[in-house]
Amino acid sequence: MVTDQKACLGRDFFWVLEEAIKGGVDLVQIREKELFERDFITKAQRAKEICAKYNVPLIVNDSLSVAKAVNANGVHIGQSDSSMDIAKELLGENFPVGLSIEKLHQLESSGASKAWYYGVSPVFSTPTKTDTITEWGLEGIQSIKRITNKPLVAIGNIKIDNAKQVIEAGADCLAVVSAICSAESPEEAAASIRNEIEKAILT
């Protein structure tokens, strides 16, 4: 899952996070757009403690300094964030860095080959993030899959109804925001999505 404070609909952020993990979320990216660095670090530290309790890795979105401060398990960068080279310089050559791919040619950029995984962004357009370019669709996942062997993390309007199709199209991981964070029961929502993933893998 990818966190979003607003998508938690006024409920306690850490409650939503822990419920989601109890439901089966096995990788968390903390994404904060409105916090000062110091507050982001404090929040990420607590999120990391909750994740660690369940052996779930925590990836920090965008901020190399926050990723470093909390000794995160990875950092995720978008096309308009820091470059791969700066990330590697600050965090070390072996630090896991994920990269969002919004257009096919970005797979050929100098930093792309150093990414641990690619974020296919967005698979479907979404009200959660409106400044996006391509809507990859299921065909987009298939075309990226043909070009690279790196793990593909699909993001953008992924929910119970389409989770199975997205995995069948070639995604290795689903990054879900509102379908979990805004669900009445984040635990049940995560469990249902996980169930769809398992169905896709088994059939």
CB of 103 to Mg ion, least distance (A): 15
Binding-site string for ligand TZP from residue 164 to residue 183, where x marks contact by CB under 6 A and - marks none: ------------xxxx----
Residue 128 near ligand TZP by CB under 6 A: yes
Length of the chain: 203
62 binds, among Mg ion, ligand TZP, none (CB under 5 to 8 A by kind): Mg ion
- For ligand TZP, which is the closer residue by CB, 73 or 157? 157
Count other C-beta atoms under 10 Å from residue 87's C-beta. 24
1 binds, among Mg ion, ligand TZP, none (CB under 5 to 8 A by kind): none
How far does Cα 9 stand from its chain's mean position?
A: 19
Query: Per the annotation, does 30 bind a ligand?
Result: yes
| CA–CA–CA angle 173, 178, 183 (5° rounding) | 110
| Footprint on residues 141-160 left by ligand TZP (CB under 6 A) | 155-158
Taking the C-alpha atoms of residue 46 and residue 126, their distance in angstroms, rounded to an integer, is: 28
Residue 162 near ligand TZP by CB under 6 A: no
Decide if 129 is catalytic. yes
Residue 59 near ligand TZP by CB under 6 A: no
Closest CA to 98 of 110, 114, 85, 86: 114
List of residues contacting ligand TZP (CB under 6 A): 2, 121-122, 126, 128-129, 132, 155-158, 176-179
